[in-house]
Amino acid sequence: MTKSKLKVYLDHLIKRENLLYKRVSTPVGAAQEQPSHLKITELYGHKPKTRLLKKPDFQRATWAWTPEDCVSLLESVLNEQVVPSVIMWLGPDGSQYVLDGEHRISVLIAWINDDWGNKLPSEIYDKDKMLEGVAKAAAQRVRALLKENGIGFFADYDAAEARYEELEKQLGHKPGFGEMDADSLRYAEMVRRWEGVNIGFPILWVRGDYAKAEESFLKINKTGRQLSDWETKLVENRNSSFARAVMSISQVHDAEHCWPIHDDEVKNDPDLQQKAATILERVRNLHELLFTPEYETPIKRAEQPLLATPYTKPEMKPAY
């Protein structure tokens, strides 16, 4: 496939959580008790595991892969080819934080939900004015490739499996060719296979507290597409007002994550509430000044690994 220049917006599919102000006093769960695989069957259904998946606030924005990268990854997973492990940290509340592999996991979630960045809440598009058109163009390209490559859409697999089950009950045996069309039969049989084998991603678990998770993230990103000195400095000094300002200006619709807005100390102090509101207002003003519109201002890119706005993303190559 010839790669396009489009990038697929996946950042919303795994919830980003601010750990900067969490008071972690409870013990962290034992990593050895956690599953060794994240299976595709755990990402859909009545209680999908996606509700437990989170990414820490120091994680890069998940908007670096082209439509071709996404489809290539799907082909590898669905054809049961070897894919690298994802790296997770188990939080004290049972949440599973993705330290490495958020693009890979997000691609599966996007396929299952048919959400390639074009179904965001309107307020997100309002805050990032260039996002809507760019995200929808990339999503359209992904769907076209899914058709061309014969992968198809997850909804078709789900419907085929339901029809397969219905026919199996009616006929008293597993349906075959003539009782279902070739594609539907293939889809249904694939879904049945997912339930019996570990199709998905192997998991490596990081043990320890929040500091260990942050240290692991830095080590992971000193190989492959390395963090620059500037990016490393931001991670290591995330508690500083300067680093929080950089992060909140870059990712304006998540600016609250960089400040203790919801901390009890702030909630109970009108003066601190006013200061927080002023900070957020000025952050939004600076974001508009620097990044809107993208091509009519001196700053066209923000090379931040942390909460970077998708359309100012760092160049990254997929690593699956």
Contact predicate 69/142, CB 8 Å: no
The ranges of the chain with pLDDT < 70 are 1-3, 18-33, 221-228, 230-232, 234-236, 238-239, 253, 292-320
What is the structure's pLDDT at 312?
36
What is the structure's pLDDT at 141?
96
Pull the structure tokens for residue 300: 């066209």
What is the structure's pLDDT at 286?
87
What is the structure's pLDDT at 129?
72
Contact predicate 49/42, CB 8 Å: yes
What is the structure's pLDDT at 152?
96
What is the structure's pLDDT at 264?
78
Domain ranges in the chain? 1-154+196-226, 227-314
Specify the pTM. 0.73
What is the structure's pLDDT at 304?
43
Of 315, 51, 99, 121, residue with least CA distance to 212: 99
Query: What are φ and ψ of residue 24, in 5° steps?
Result: -90, 105
Cβ contacts of residue 4 below 8 Å, gap of 6+?
66, 67, 68, 141
What is the structure's pLDDT at 151?
95
What is the structure's pLDDT at 23?
44
